[in-house]
Amino acid sequence: MSVEIAHRLASTAPLAIDLAEVAELAEAVLASEGVDGPCELSLSVVDDEEMAALNAELRGVDAPTDVLSVELERPGEGPRGEGEPCLLGDLILDPPLIERQAEGFGVSAADETRLLVIHGLLHLLGYDHEEDAEARAMGERQARLTTRATDGRIGAVSLAPHGEGERP
């Protein structure tokens, strides 16, 4: 399995981890879900202003958020030619907000970014936390992957339904 990342930098603030690590995290998440074919992931790095505009457009929330996931297709869906990658979708991150959030939670910006990449990828794979049962299922997968990715510095994080003060 391989993950190809196309990225767009629309923020002067750098992402706290490099693209190679984003790809490694994506491969780990996909492998944990049994995905074995090639996938393509679009990664956008934006500032608070652009994130607020995207969040308003996509979710109707007039404020920035740390991560947005815009799903295109799930692995195994639709006909594909041999070797043609699944187009997962767009993972949009706001590094200035992530850094402020990490500081508030007492973790590094790199570990918070790892958590949010995992969280966003799980959304691209169809997981959600709109209902309690969904939140539990997504939370269990996220905890296992995040604990591994952060060497135990971040583990289980409570997932609430969107818009209820959630912390991914």
pLDDT tens digits, one per residue of 65-94: 999 999 999 887 766 777 788 899 999 999
Integer Cα distance of 63 and 113 in angstroms: 19
Instruction: Identify the CA nearest to 124 among candidates 15, 5, 8, 16.
Output: 5
pLDDT given for residue 163 in this prediction: 45
Which residues in the chain land under pLDDT 50? 162-165
**What's the CATH superfamily of 3-149?**
Metalloproteases ("zincins"), catalytic domain (3.40.390.30)
DSSP 121: H
> For 92, what's the count of Cα atoms within 13 Å in the CB-facing half-sphere?
20
Give yes or no for a contact between 48 and 100, defined as CB atoms under 8 angstroms apart: no
pLDDT given for residue 79 in this prediction: 66
pLDDT given for residue 88 in this prediction: 93
